[in-house]
Amino acid sequence: MNVDEFLTDVRKDLAAEDVMNDADSLARYGQNLSGYERRIPLVVRPRSTEQVAKVVTAANRHLVPLYAFSQGKNWGLGSKLPVVDDCALVDLSAMNRILDVNTTYGYAIVEPGVTQGQLAAHLSENKIPFFMDVTGSGASTSIIGNMMERGVAYNSLRAEKLLSLQAVLGNGEIIRTGFGHFPQSKVTALCRYGTGPDLLGLFPQSNYGIVTEATVELMPVPEHQMVFLVNIKDESQLGPMVDAMRQLTQRGALESVVHIGNRRRSEVTMTPLMYHYLQSQGRQVTRDEAERMVSAQLKGPWSAIGAIMGTKSHVSASKREIKAALGRFGRLDFMTEGLLQFAKTATKLAGVKSINDFLCASEPLLALPRGVPTDAALHSAYWPAADSSPDLSQPDVSAGGMLFAAPIVPQDSESVRLAVEATDRVGDEHGFKPAVTLNMMHDKSLEGVVSIDFVRADAEQCRRAKECMRGLNQAYMDLGFMPYRIDIENMPMIMDADDPFWKTAKALKTVLDPNNIISPRRFNLV
């Protein structure tokens, strides 16, 4: 590896400000919410696919490994950092063009730097009758970056919305998937499979190339949309409620992803929202007061939020079925945008401040199913460490720390019971109270989003947090609930050099990236 010669090469093709190896820049790129550390020799910031190809070619020439990211906001899993030391970072955030939005078929072609907020604003400003299904991870997060990690949005699975992509392989060649490699193709965005092998699936969670463009499916703005919220009475009803939701999905009454969170998730999300909302209204409250106000509104140990959309008759029919199936588990509320505004007005006029404050504070979260991204939930990264939130879109620079586990759990009551028991046990062993969300992935599995929070400046907390995260991942794997995403420190846990799957992934790497240039050991043995 010859970093100096690589630097000389890339400076011929990139602007001076887009090649960084000064100590301040490297320190800034190394900051991360997880508290991990990696040696980073330099950072390059290409602005086109052609520049990416030149960077990869130079890296092959000088055997410098690269680690690419879109916006670098893989929070709780390593952020911008590579799996191994001494990788040059490839910052794709400057490649942020919305190349096309098709209003006939409902798709957008975007570069990796395009964020949820950017695309949502474009669709809204141009009155396009489609919306981008968003996650709760913030308006400034990358669409492609999240898709490459197979993220789960509020109504759908992100990977299923990926239609085609363009990537620079590790050998420097540029490839288009599906029909995209035919210059005359008019159906690239309309049929993802193309002719021959389906290569699209090679790129999410792999290290074969750098994705520089993707075609993503949008969702039509429905005639009617309604959010439902369930607060269960006690812990024992969580499993039966999951069973009931599975059955609703199987018979077509429930079509969206339903997000089921424990009380800790609700507390760490809603308490800072309440605190900052009241502060914005000129009402000086303490953290303890905000916690008490939120606690008074939260009902039961678990709550769930989902959406139903379509024609008014379809929504009405689904509402009836959901009410019949879920009403017995606790409080069940249905909310439209109009009903929310009415409830806010009514509670304000009636002087019911506690409910009005809660509705106003939670309003950004209730808009997520409509494709309106928000940074509101990011307060949770700052809150446990009592940070004053200097820049809500940059948790990596906060005092707080956060780590995530992401097991896939079978969607049945017994599996849910086992997963929750394991989570509580491991959390107790290491002195943490995990926040848990279980996201329904159709009708067969749940995506677990399990986070622990700590103070990064406290070395002992950092040590215990890392041990806890390893313990959580191991506990889930022992149950057969395998991780669908995993942080950079624990990635070796899922690798087995004797497993034919990983041996095949390694063999593909030697063809597509013979010098092992792209993201060494990221979801691969090499």
Q: Are residues 208 and 240 in the same domain?
A: no
Q: Are residues 171 and 212 in the same domain?
A: yes
Closest by CA to 224, choosing from 342, 312, 156, is: 312
- Any domain includes 112: yes
Q: Are residues 332 and 442 in the same domain?
A: no
Q: Are residues 108 and 145 in the same domain?
A: yes
> 271: domain CATH number?
3.30.70.3450
Closest by CA to 121, choosing from 131, 113, 110, 111, is: 131
* 132 neighbors 216 (Cβ within 8 angstroms): yes
In the predicted model, is pLDDT for residue 392 greater than 80?
Answer: no
> 456: domain CATH number?
3.40.462.10
In the predicted model, is pLDDT for residue 467 greater than 70?
Answer: yes
SS3 358: helix
Q: Are residues 351 and 429 in the same domain?
A: no
Q: What is the pLDDT of residue 373?
A: 94
Q: Are residues 234 and 360 in the same domain?
A: yes
Q: Are residues 251 and 142 in the same domain?
A: no
Tens of pLDDT along 242-295? 999 999 999 999 999 999 999 999 999 999 999 989 989 999 899 899 999 999
In the predicted model, is pLDDT for residue 387 greater than 80?
Answer: no
> 181: domain CATH number?
3.30.465.10
Q: What is the pLDDT of residue 442?
A: 87
| Domain finish residue from 366, 391, 425 | 366
Q: Which amino acid is at 117?
A: G
- Any domain includes 132: yes
Report, as an integer, the average pLDDT of 148-175. Answer: 96
Number of domains in the chain: 3
- Any domain includes 444: yes
- Any domain includes 73: no
Q: Which two tokens stand for residue 272?
A: 């800072």
Q: Are residues 180 and 263 in the same domain?
A: no
Q: Are residues 327 and 441 in the same domain?
A: no
> Domain limits at 135?
98-220
Q: What is the pLDDT of residue 377?
A: 87
- Any domain includes 450: yes
The string of DSSP codes covering 154-212 is SSSBGGGGEEEEEEEETTS-EEE-GGGGSTT-S-TTT-SS-SSS--GGGSTT--SEEEE
- Any domain includes 64: no
Q: What is the pLDDT of residue 339?
A: 87
- Any domain includes 446: yes
- Any domain includes 471: yes
Tens of pLDDT along 67-124? 999 999 999 999 999 999 999 999 999 999 999 999 999 999 999 999 999 999 999 9
Q: Are residues 151 and 215 in the same domain?
A: yes
Q: Are residues 208 and 238 in the same domain?
A: no
Q: Are residues 239 and 362 in the same domain?
A: yes
Q: Which amino acid is at 219?
A: M
Q: Which two tokens stand for residue 298?
A: 């939260």
Residue with tokens 């086992």: 418
Q: At what angle do helices 312-326 and 238-250 cross, to 10 degrees?
A: 150
Lowest mean pLDDT among 53-62, 143-152, 333-342: 333-342
Distance between CA atoms of residues 264 and 258, nearest Å: 18
SS3 360: helix
